[in-house]
Amino acid sequence: MMPERKTIQLINEDTGELVNSPDKLFISESLLDGISPDDFEMDVEDEEYGVE
């Protein structure tokens, strides 16, 4: 069975715009093992609304 693939949106930190790329970036679940949500920055909006 193939691992589930998830699409990730890349955002330019300088402009806040979505990066348009001809290639989609896929990361397997196994590469995400051991990564904590605390390793990522949250936007104020996410904190207010409790987005997971």
What pLDDT shows up at residue 41?
A: 67
What pLDDT shows up at residue 13?
A: 77
Domain boundaries along the sequence of the chain: 5-49
Which stretch of DSSP H or E encloses residue 38? Answer: none
- Could you tell me where the beta strands, DSSP code E, fall in the chain? 5-7, 26-28
Nearest to 25 by CA among 40, 11, 46: 11
What pLDDT shows up at residue 43?
A: 63
pLDDT per residue as tens digits for the range 1-52: 667 777 777 777 778 888 776 555 556 667 677 777 676 666 666 555 555 5
Tell me if residue 10 falls in helix, strand or coil: coil
| Residue that the structure tokens 């955002």 belong to | 11
- Contact status, residue 25 vs residue 8, Cβ threshold 8 Å: yes
